[in-house]
Amino acid sequence: MMNLSTVIAYGCRYRTPPIKQLLNYTTFLNHHHHLHLLPFNNPKLPNFNLLHTGNCLFFGMERFWSRSGISKNKQMVEHLQRYGVISSMKVAEVLETIDRALFVPDGTSAYVDSPMPIGYNVTISAPHMHATCLQLLEENLQPGMHALDVGSGTGYLTACFAIMVGPQGRVVGVEHIPELVASSIKNIEKSAAAPLLKEGSLSLHAGDGRQGWPECAPYDAIHVGAAAPEIPQPLIDQLKPGGRMVIPVGNTFQDLQVVDKNLDGSISIRSETSVRYVPLTSRDAQLRGY
Ligand code: SAH
């Protein structure tokens, strides 16, 4: 077991306003022995010991989340709304429609705002990260639009995208662990997105997501669920003019970057927030533990 100074939040923000920080770190004491861990040596990062021992609000939140328990998906969404993580009604509706419990491994707390291990040295991202990415991409996930989810993992966010763009749209998930692709299809078959999978507006594929998925390009929205050392060129190429990509970029220190392709084909990039995701890498490197 590691101590608090060595924990890592894959698929999680780490430099955030105080209340969001509390949401992020409420379950850090559990679950992390499955993950590949990197030390947090940076003095600028939040002091977890202080957070754990000295903050009444933190304890209040932890009690709320993990003991009396948010047992319902709707309550998770309401909480993210109350704490300002979700402001869009559309995003709230979609997160209510797709029950997160169908996508996490049995015995995992589905509604806790933390990344959770899903095997193969990776995690399902925290609910606040999924909500943040959906909001950043909302304009590019209108009915009928095309979206690509790179590193689709459990299929949770891919299913949310499919609900957003609807039966006239097209959503592709690409994941390089074939077993995860298979289980993501099973998860989605139990969810409200099942008809979209059946009718073919949603599909999941095994492949190296760094190459994108040219068959259904160009995309209005591209989401990357793993951190790239730099933005893969094929993903930029597969973005439609007017399209938007949300991608964590960096190694140990990462930014969630918002990449807009302008109508003249030029690219504008801004950083939304600091994050910590698992790497976008080769399957071998991932299975070896990076
Ligand atoms: N967004 C998903 C998974 C996040 S974890 C969810 O929340 O459930 C990141 C995922 O990216 C993992 O499933 C990992 O296997 C996948 N991945 C990493 N590198 C990849 C690559 N080069 N191509 C495709 N998938 C990749």
DSSP for 4-23? GGG---TTEE-S--HHHHHH
Residue 7: pLDDT above 60? no
Residue 195: pLDDT above 80? yes
Please tell me the distance from the alpha carbon of residue 114 to that of residue 28, in angstroms, as a whole number: 8
Specify the residue with its C-alpha closest to ligand 1, atom 7: 124
Please tell me the distance from the alpha carbon of residue 246 to that of residue 277, in angstroms, as a whole number: 13
pLDDT of residue 2: 38
Q: Report which of residues 56 and 243 the model is more confident about.
A: 243
Q: Determine how many CB atoms are found less than 10 A away from the CB of residue 149.
A: 31
Confidence of residue 12 (pLDDT cuts 50, 70, 90): low
Q: Report which of residues 51 and 96 the model is more confident about.
A: 96
**Is the whole model's pTM more than 0.85, yes or no?**
no
Q: Report which of residues 50 and 129 the model is more confident about.
A: 129
- CA of residue 49 to ligand 1 center, whole Å: 30
Confidence of residue 10 (pLDDT cuts 50, 70, 90): low
Atom index in ligand 1 nearest the CA of residue 280 equals 19
Strands 12-13 and 267-276, sheet pairing: antiparallel
Helix (H) or strand (E) holding 188: helix 178-189
Residue 204: pLDDT above 90? yes
The CB of 126 under 6 Å from ligand 1? The reply is: no
| Mean pLDDT of all residues in 274-280 | 96
What is the average pLDDT value for the chain, to the nearest integer?
Answer: 83
The CB of 78 under 6 Å from ligand 1? The reply is: no
Q: Choose one of 118, 176, 211 to mutate for the ligand 1 pocket test, by most ligand atoms within 8 angstroms of C-beta.
A: 176
Phi, psi of 264 (to 5 degrees): -85, 5
pLDDT of residue 72: 86
Atom index in ligand 1 nearest the CA of residue 158 equals 1
Classify each residue of 155-188 as buried b or exposed e, where b means 16 or more C-beta atoms within 10 Å of its C-beta: bbbbbbbbbbbeeebbbbbbbbbeebbebbbebb
